[in-house]
A and B are shown apart, each in its own frame.
Chain A
């Protein structure tokens, strides 16, 4: 009887997730092109190509830089949540404002940041020039800074979500614990890092794992801002998969890259799962 209830959902998952995933696993070993009905089995050719593909290595590097946004965003969110958890004027309004980016459309967000980061007359560089920076960075227009500029947008984007979750965790901490610490003479800094931070560590762990996974898979933001450019400086793995599959129609090779991406996500998650015992306190 229970199975009957979950059947509709399971059918959907089977049809739209499991089967395509298995299908793409099979595609890894073929040269299937979307536009070419003749498919042949090529064995490990796609893997050989993968390991000699400089664009692919570039994509891994860019993904690594992109992932930096996750811990930075967590630290900032924690700090923001701490402040907003105390008595601050307009607390509710501020919470709403911090959360707003997360519920906004990614494309609209991308457009606003493109204006802000405009290299010659965007407000950010105007301010930098105003305080005496002779040649401010080109942000999205410079292959060296584009990925970091994307990081900034991603951090800003994720901040609200992370903050709300942290806020919930902070509310869970019993005031008695903090009061006891205070009576024992602990300063605010000690309380924060020795009591509060360990107490919210399960939340940090959750946000870290989901954040890393989401960031590795994320796509819309970069596609909207730079489409992977300039050059290929912001082509992260997920974008490279998209390009290979839907611009060049090389479904076989794209499957190989995306399974590699899956393997990386899996590995990162497993490592974190094992590592959590050292620092997560339930």
Chain B
């Protein structure tokens, strides 16, 4: 009798094996051969091996950069290791750094993460290096990355956040490319006019979602004069209200819960023509320039991430410089690593330009980088707004609040956008929770 149904468990096992292997494999691909560089110190004149950790997929530039370096420098071999820039990925990097595994060089993308690495003593102080003038090379925005007045890395690229516009849809609706000093109420109107069946007027990428309120708080100050939280300021209130209206009144942007649970691929949707405007950053170039996988025939124009109100003082634009390249203070090969940092910042990183990473060093001819960025896709962009917005000069900032505060803030505005909490309570809770965390420090 038993033999009759032998195939049932076999089927179950086979299916589960497929499921298990399908999911298990992605955990291991990133970290290749642990512990190779550490063993190299014994013999003299041996090749120095460096590991560079970054969050950009190897094929989107870093591999080409590393290959070029290795060809030029036979005595120092650099290997690129990708980490994903989320909690788990950063934890992986931090663990590698603090346990002294092979991570000689690494990128930090936000100040709060770099701060932790400085606290842990795994970021070498580069201010002490006299052979490279970071301020002079990278411009005044670099100073936003200083921690206690010191540089613990070199900011290597221009950071840019802006609104991507489908110019064809704008033209159809008779809307001009918005001026640089436009505001959120303007954007709300644009979004409403651009919305039609199957097309959202406005989408936002998670990475840029809070750019406007961050830029506001950067100008106003994170705390008030008396040291309490400034999270309940009226400008934030206005921004929250506008976004809420766009979701539920105008229906020009997806309802928050929908975007949240469907993990909406906003960049793909924009490039497929399912949205007229997209709030994101330069990292979208990676896909927008890839006409094979993301074919589109419309022209893309650009606008700034607007100020919240027209009379707003001191609004700062998300941007400045980024991609902080640091040397692990515990690395055995400080000099070789430092040499790589200088080389990378002053032009070695050019292969990354086609993915939107424009070098910030003044030693790099920016025209060359822009050419690389637009090679083969010149006709897909509105050059005027590209020059004004993407390569324009704005007063910028680096967000300087701890991850815990960022998360608490997010939890509160999520409740508002999901209609579980009214606007005033949301502002009050954001400020209260911020105050609580301020007191703990």
Q: Say whether B19 contacts A229, CB under 8 Å.
A: no
How many angstroms between the C-alpha atoms of A116 and B22 in the bound complex? Answer: 21
Give residues 56-106 of A contacting B (CB, 8 Å).
92-93, 95-96, 99-100, 103-105
Q: How large is the interface on A (under 10, 10 to 19, 20 to 34, 35 or more residues)?
A: 35 or more
B28 at the A/B interface (Cβ < 8 Å)? no
Residues of A within 8 A of B402 (CB): 248
In the complex, the answer to whether B418 meets A143 with C-beta atoms within 8 Å is yes
Chain B interface main SS type: helix
Whether B8 pairs with A95 at a CB distance below 8 angstroms is yes
Min CB distance A277 to B, Å, is 38
A contact residues around B20 at 8 Å (CB): 104-105
Name the residue in B22, B119, B256 with the highest tally of chain A Cβ atoms < 10 Å from its Cβ. B119
- With contacts A36-B119, A37-B121 taken as known, whether A231 is within 8 angstroms of B23 at the C-beta atoms is no
Closest B residue to A242 using CB positions: B87
Binds B, one of A134-142, A180-188, A196-204, A264-272: A134-142
* B415: A residues at CB distance < 8 A: 143, 230-231
Q: Indicate if A157 sits at the interface (CB-CB under 8 A).
A: no
How many angstroms from the CA of A107 to the CA of B25 in the assembled complex? 13
Whether A142 contacts B418 by the Cβ 8 Å rule is: yes
Whether A232 touches B12, Cβ cut-off 8 Å, given contacts A37-B120, A93-B5, A119-B258, is: no
Pairwise interchain contact B407-A230, C-beta atoms closer than 8 A: no
With contacts A96-B11, A103-B16, A114-B261 taken as known, whether A35 is within 8 angstroms of B407 at the C-beta atoms is no
- A residues 231-271 in Cβ contact with B at 8 Å: 231-232, 243, 246-249
Binary CB contact string for chain B from 133 to 149 against chain A (1 if under 8 A, 0 otherwise): 00000000000000000
Whether B44 sits at the interface, judged by CB under 8 Å, is no
Q: A95-B8, A100-B16 are in contact. Are A105 and B23 (CB under 8 A)?
A: yes
- Tell me the minimal C-beta distance from B90 to chain A in angstroms: 9
Does A179 make an interface contact (CB < 8 A)? no
A129 interfacial contact with B, CB 8 Å: no
- Is B412 close to A, CB under 8 A? yes
- Inside 8 A of A49's CB, which chain B residues have their CB? 440
B411 within 8 A of A: yes
Residue contact A231 to B414, C-beta cutoff 8 Å: yes
Contact B22 A35 (CB under 8 A): no
A34 with B94: in contact, given A105-B22, A231-B411 (CB under 8 Å)?
yes
Q: Is B393 an interface residue (CB 8 A)?
A: no
Measured in the bound complex, the distance between the Cα atoms of B17 and A100 in whole Å is 11
**Across the interface, which residues of B come within 8 angstroms of A99, CB to CB?**
12
Q: Does B290 contact A (CB under 8 A)?
A: no
**5 closest A-B pairs by CB:** A141-B257, A92-B5, A35-B116, A103-B16, A96-B8
Q: A105-B20, A119-B258 are in contact. List 15 more A-B contacts (CB 8 A).
A: A35-B116, A92-B4, A96-B8, A96-B11, A99-B12, A103-B16, A105-B19, A105-B24, A108-B19, A108-B22, A114-B263, A117-B261, A142-B418, A229-B411, A249-B94
Chosen A-B contacts, 11 in total, with CB atoms closer than 8 Å, are A93-B5, A99-B12, A100-B15, A100-B16, A104-B16, A114-B262, A117-B261, A140-B260, A141-B258, A144-B420, A231-B415
